[in-house]
Amino acid sequence: EAKFPKPARTRLIAVANQKGGVGKTTSTVNLAAALAQNGARVLVIDMDPQGNCSTALGVRHESGEPSVYDVLEGRMSIAEVKRQCPDLSSLDVVPASIDLSGAELEVAQFENRNNLLNEAVQQFLRESNEHFDYVFVDCPPSLGLLVINAMCAVREMLIPIQAEYYALEGLGQLINTIGLVQEHFNPILTVSTMMVTMFDKRTLLSREVYNEVKSHYPSIVLDTTIPRTVKISEAPSFNKSVISYDPRGMGAIAYGEAALEIARRSPVVLDAIASRMKEA
């Protein structure tokens, strides 16, 4: 079994883009699975009331089940609600259910409303008797309080960009919001990774989108692109990552390569990206 380099300390990564359908959930699920399969201990936190990430990783998330909603509202800890992914023993999931859709309003008047997830994650990492290499947070398609909580709980933002005509539309607004969160709440936050998804190598448009993103963010964009494949889109209906569903297929290979690229981003590279972002 191939093993990827492990980070010296826990890498906290939120996967965000306020556009829906760009591959946030698919990327969270499959990067987490690829890293777990290659020796990393991984926690995935589903922050989308749709719970697609929970579905794809095969954990229950019916309304009323213990979930991230209970964590944000302080009723339960991450340790109490997390579940093991049935396919990968080194991958745990904090599920989300439709209950989470009420949370933004319910916590809006809490004084620490931006830091609810951060406090829960820090408590978990402090008290857990296991070391986690990665914590991924799958964000809903918005820039609301749930996403702000994700941005306050991590050091790295991973932005999936769909290879389509309007790919870069809205990216400025997202980067701007990340900048505001960094300025006011979380000084260590950086966009460490962008990844082009649903890439079709036969189309000029896909290559143009890649080249454009790469020219704007040369050190941030992964060399690996994720192809559009039927297996990637089928896997969630079997409650599986594509890594488990079709391990030798193009989708699993691409997510494996992307995960390796991410694992190879050393603290030095991440610091260089962060300081370049501060200058910009």
Q: Please name the residue that has the structure tokens 């692109």.
A: 225
The answer to whether the CB of 27 falls within 8 A of the CB of 15 is yes
Quote the least distance from Cβ 16 to Mg ion, whole Å: 10
Radius of gyration of the chain measured on its C-alpha atoms = 17
- Give the residue among 273, 42, 7 at the shortest CA–CA distance from 159: 273
Question: In this complex, which beta carbon is closest to ligand ADP, that of residue 28 or of residue 149?
Answer: 28
Is residue 144 part of the contact set for ligand ADP (CB under 6 A)? no
**How far, in Å, CA of 61 to CA of 41, rounded?**
22
- Give the residue among 136, 62, 74, 135 at the shortest CA–CA distance from 103: 74
Residues that bind Mg ion (CB under 5 A): 24-25, 52
Other beta carbons within 10 angstroms of residue 204's beta carbon come to: 8
Is residue 59 part of the contact set for ligand ADP (CB under 6 A)? no
Quote the least distance from Cβ 33 to ligand ADP, whole Å: 13
List of residues 6+ apart from 123 with CB closer than 8 A = 77, 78
CA distances from 136 to 1, 36, 150, 170 (A): 23, 12, 10, 22
| Token pair belonging to 54 | 């929970």
Question: In this complex, which beta carbon is closest to Mg ion, that of residue 10 or of residue 177?
Answer: 177
- Give the residue among 159, 155, 156 at the shortest CA–CA distance from 143: 159
Quote the least distance from Cβ 45 to ligand ADP, whole Å: 14
Sign of the torsion formed by the C-alpha atoms of 262, 23, 166 and 277: negative
One of 9, 20, 62, 187 touching ligand ADP (CB under 6 A): 20
Q: Select the span of 14-22, 79-87, 123-131, 202-210 touching ligand ADP (CB under 6 A).
A: 14-22
Quote the least distance from Cβ 234 to Mg ion, whole Å: 16
Question: In this complex, which beta carbon is closest to ligand ADP, that of residue 232 or of residue 252?
Answer: 232
Is residue 63 part of the contact set for ligand ADP (CB under 6 A)? no
Please give the residues from 197 up to 236 whose contact with ligand ADP meets the rule CB under 6 A: 197-198, 226, 228-229, 232-233, 236
- Taking CB within 5 to 8 Å according to partner kind, which of Mg ion, ligand ADP, none is near residue 233? ligand ADP
Is residue 58 part of the contact set for ligand ADP (CB under 6 A)? no
Question: In this complex, which beta carbon is closest to Mg ion, that of residue 96 or of residue 116?
Answer: 96
Q: Judged by CB under 6 A, how many residues of this single chain contact ligand ADP?
A: 17
The answer to whether the CB of 155 falls within 8 A of the CB of 188 is yes
Quote the least distance from Cβ 245 to ligand ADP, whole Å: 12
Please give the residues from 102 up to 141 whose contact with ligand ADP meets the rule CB under 6 A: 141
Which residue's CB atom is positioned nearest to Mg ion? 25
Other beta carbons within 10 angstroms of residue 187's beta carbon come to: 11
For residue 46, what are the β-bridge partners?
A: 138
Is residue 249 part of the contact set for ligand ADP (CB under 6 A)? no
Q: Which residues bind ligand ADP (CB under 6 A)?
A: 20-26, 52, 141, 197-198, 226, 228-229, 232-233, 236
